[in-house]
Structure formats: structure tokens, C-alpha cells
Amino acid sequence: MHLSSKHLLGIRDLLPEDINLILDTAKQFKEVLQRPIKKVPSLRDITVVNLFYENSTRTRISFELAEKRLSADTINFSANSSSVSKGETLLDTVNNILSMKVDMVVMRHSATGAPHFLSNHIPAAIINAGDGINEHPTQALLDALSITEKLGSLKGKKVAIIGDIMHSRVALSNIYLLTKMGAEITLAGPPTLIPKYITESFPVNITYNVKEALEWCDVANVLRIQLERQNQVLFSSLREYNQAFGITKQLLSGLQKDILIMHPGPINRGVEIDSDVADSGQSIILDQVENGVAVRMAVLYLLSGRKEVST
């Protein structure tokens, strides 16, 4: 079985069968990760560069770990400690790295479309690790794996995505994925952080009332307020945001059910989510991080063109 695409640029380009194949392969790799020796030789002759033009903790570490678990050779590139500061272009940087016989590129960039641009100019397989406010496909895939582990499947499940939808690549990748896989979606947050085009482009519900979203959903995926991407005032203050839209223990205890709480990280505790919710038994935030390694192993493996999982 193969993915329908040579690259993973976004969930937008994937078929439901691709998503199922990645999730099924990730489940197999998750079994490998439970063993005393958490390593397979699948990518022994493959070299991967992790090209990070923007900061990251979870994505960067889990890609590197996934590559090591698959026995690939890895190179880590950080824009702020490279010759980018001397004016070298993205394409020159990548072509120089590829000339050292690198097979795959994992890339995070603050510019929307940077990995798509690269895919038109280089022969190597590219995995988008987050491009601007566009997509973060492996995050949506690990979110999907985390939901299916707890709830069985995505079809018909009610997922509320709460917070800064406008600046969130996690939101867009989740919307593509959940729509393709038959889940229902409600977007919740301040009107200034929910762009109009989303309602015109996707079958999603909108509410500006977080309590209403929580009462409706099986899963709440809570997003960080991305102040670094906001160049205008979109809400009054972080304190008032927390009062109106923050997920609190009080809000959850008023529900007649237990819902799953997710967050892609990094968390702003006391802003979009309170600590006693993030650290509660309903939270699967660290399961998401754990699943990130298996999902990234699956994506690397499937894009490397191997025929079957060597376990």
C-alpha cells in the first residue's frame, strides 16, 4: 500500500484511504515503541534533514525520535544558527543540503506555502511540519490517532475546536481531516478569531459560546492564542479571554458527561485552558505527544517508499 502523494504537504491533499493507511501504520509502530528495544531497521539507508525555520519543541523532537527509531540518519538544521542570517535563500540552503545526499526533508517555516514552493524545485520527499497559518498535517494525524484510541473511530464523533482558529494551522489541518473522515465539527471562540471563509468552505458549525460547544461535543481540542501572529488587537486582554473562552474545571463539571480534552501545545496555562483541566484525567494532551512519534514514523516510512513494515 502506498500514499497517493509523494509528499505530505497538507491534509488537504490526502484521500481518506491515505489517512487510514497512515493511522494503521502508526498503530503498528506504536506497538514497536512499547518494546524494550524501540527500534526497527526500516529506514537504515535513508538520510533525513529536519529543517526548522521556526521554533518547535514537540514536532522537532518527535520527528528526530521517529527517524532514530526507524534507523535513519538525521541532520538537524536551525535557521537561526545557520547561514540564513548571512542572506542565503531557502532554495540555496536546501540544494546545498541535498547535494550531501539527503533523501527526505522535514520542514517547518513561518511562511504559508514554503514546503509547497520547495516541492516544485527539489526531487526529495517533503513533509510539512507546519507552514505559517496554513497546515500542520502530522499534528492533525496524531490528533486523529489519539481520538480513535479513546473513542474507536472518527465517523460521527463531535469535535469542538476552540480558540484562535484564525491563526491556527492545527485548526485547518484538523478541519480537513475530520471532514474527510466523517466527524462533525463546531468551531468556538471570539468572532474576531473565526475567519468567515471557513464557514463558506467547510461544513462546520460556529458558536461564540464555549459552554454551548462543550455541551455539544465528545472532544474539545483547545488552541493557543497565537499572539506572535497577531498584528492587531482581536480581543480585549488575556484575562478577559480566559473569563469568556477559557476552559475551566467549573465549565466541565457543569456538563452531564465526560468529554476528552486535547491541546496541541504549547499551552498557555490560565489563558485558553486552566491547569486543573490540562492536568486532569479527561486530558489526553500527553497521549497526543506520545502518538506524535508513531504517526511521524508512519509518515516517514510510507513516503520513503518501503513495501512493508519491518518489525
156: left (phi over 0), alpha (psi -120 to 50) or beta: left
- Give how many residues touch ligand CP by CB under 6 A: 11
Under the binding rule (CB under 6 A), the answer on residue 146 touching ligand CP is no
Using CB under 6 A, which of 6, 58, 68, 158 touches ligand CP?
58
Under the binding rule (CB under 6 A), the answer on residue 265 touching ligand CP is yes
Binding window for ligand CP (CB under 6 A); candidates: 57-65, 86-94, 99-107, 193-201? 57-65
User: 114-133 mask for ligand CP (x: CB under 6 A)?
Assistant: ----------------x---
Tell me the C-alpha distance between 50 and 68, whole Å.
Answer: 12
- Helices within the chain (DSSP H only): 16-33, 58-69, 90-98, 114-119, 137-151, 169-180, 196-201, 210-216, 238-245, 249-253, 275-278, 285-303
Cell, residue 85: 542570517
Classify the C-alpha dihedral 132-135-139-140 as positive or negative. Answer: positive
Tell me the C-alpha distance between 103 and 88, whole Å.
Answer: 21
Using CB under 6 A, which of 93, 139, 146, 283 touches ligand CP?
139
Query: 129 or 252, CB closer to ligand CP?
Result: 129
Query: 265 or 309, CB closer to ligand CP?
Result: 265
Tell me the C-alpha distance between 272 and 242, whole Å.
Answer: 6
Binding window for ligand CP (CB under 6 A); candidates: 29-37, 52-60, 145-153, 243-251? 52-60
Under the binding rule (CB under 6 A), the answer on residue 50 touching ligand CP is no
**Bridge partner residues of 207 (DSSP):** 188
Using CB under 6 A, which of 25, 42, 59, 119 touches ligand CP?
59
Using CB under 6 A, which of 266, 275, 308, 311 touches ligand CP?
266
Binding window for ligand CP (CB under 6 A); candidates: 181-189, 246-254, 262-270, 276-284? 262-270
Binding window for ligand CP (CB under 6 A); candidates: 3-11, 35-43, 56-64, 120-128? 56-64
Using CB under 6 A, which of 4, 57, 83, 199 touches ligand CP?
57
Cell, residue 249: 474545571
CB of 256 to ligand CP, least distance (A): 31
- 3-state DSSP call for residue 184? strand
Under the binding rule (CB under 6 A), the answer on residue 137 touching ligand CP is no
Q: How many residues does the chain have?
A: 311
Tell me which amino acid residue 159 is. V
What's the maximum distance between 2 C-alpha atoms anywhere in the chain?
Answer: 59
Contacting residues toward ligand CP, per CB under 6 A: 56-60, 130, 136, 139, 264-266
